[in-house]
Amino acid sequence: MARENGKQIARAGEYATAEDFKQIFTEDVNSLYLLSLLLTGDHDKAEKCFVQGIGESTKGNGVFKE
């Protein structure tokens, strides 16, 4: 973390990018869908949940890579 006027400021490289999310969703598609299915208990809802998760990840909310 960088400091500016006593405040902590995260560097841009510390945040996940759209490419990071793409890699996660590509590598873990089966596990993430299974999690959606277990949480919803319904195949249609699980699919919608999974697709919505992909959409939400592209909205640019700052998330740390870790």
27 compared with 18, residue with greater pLDDT: 27
Contact 64, 14 (CB under 8 A): yes
CA neighbours closer than 13 Å in the CB half-sphere of residue 59: 7
The pLDDT confidence band at residue 1, using thresholds 50, 70 and 90, is very low
What average pLDDT score do residues 9-26 get? 76
Kindly report, residue by residue over 20-52, the tens digit of the pLDDT.
888 888 899 999 999 999 999 999 999 999 899
The pTM for the full model equals 0.62
